[in-house]
Amino acid sequence: EVQLLESGGGSVQPGGSLRLSCAASGFIFSNYGMSWVRQAPGKGLEWVSGITDSGGTKNYADSVKGRFTISRDNAKKTLHLQMSSLRGEDTAVYFCVKGLGNGWANWFDAWGQGTLVTVSS
């Protein structure tokens, strides 16, 4: 069974930093692209960032480009999202998602339960 377990969420002041992690199990992690998708309270889904299976290609939403960095450790089956210069509009539940498809052109067949990030003074 595919499992994605996020951690690292919490409350942070504007301008602060957080590092999210996602521990994957139940599939060959190094064979799949991975992404982070977020959902602000009461709002829809927003793709944040994605990384290909090897880690060779990383993509970001314009809203986080230059502030967030995605990375992966295939040996540890772990996905990370380093978030800096956080803003109020980054407040959301962040989902770790497993991608299917070609390279970065992914749809998402498995989702974690999400971790809440709250940015507030």
Partner 1 sequence: DIVMTQSPDSLAVSLGERATINCKSSQNVLYNSDNKNYLAWYQQKPGQPPKLLIYWASTRESGVPDRFSGSGSGTDFTLTISSLQAEDVATYYCQQYYSVPLTFGGGTKVEIK
Which residues of the chain form contacts with partner 1 (CB under 8 A)?
A: 35, 44-47, 50, 59-62, 95, 100-101, 104-109, 111-114
Helices (H), the chain: none
31 backbone dihedrals φ, ψ, rounded to 5°: -95, -5
- Smallest separation (angstroms) from partner 1 to the CB of 13: 27
- Smallest separation (angstroms) from partner 1 to the CB of 117: 15
- Smallest separation (angstroms) from partner 1 to the CB of 111: 4
Nearer to partner 1 by C-beta: 14 or 43?
Answer: 43
Element (H, E) at 11: strand 10-12
- Smallest separation (angstroms) from partner 1 to the CB of 44: 5
Q: How far apart are CA 86 and CA 16, in angstroms?
A: 5
Nearer to partner 1 by C-beta: 29 or 94?
Answer: 94
Residue carrying the six token digits 């540890």: 76
Nearer to partner 1 by C-beta: 14 or 113?
Answer: 113
Nearer to partner 1 by C-beta: 15 or 101?
Answer: 101
Q: How far apart are CA 30 and CA 39, in angstroms?
A: 26
Instruction: Identify whether the C-beta of residue 70 lies closer than 8 Å to the C-beta of residue 58.
Output: yes
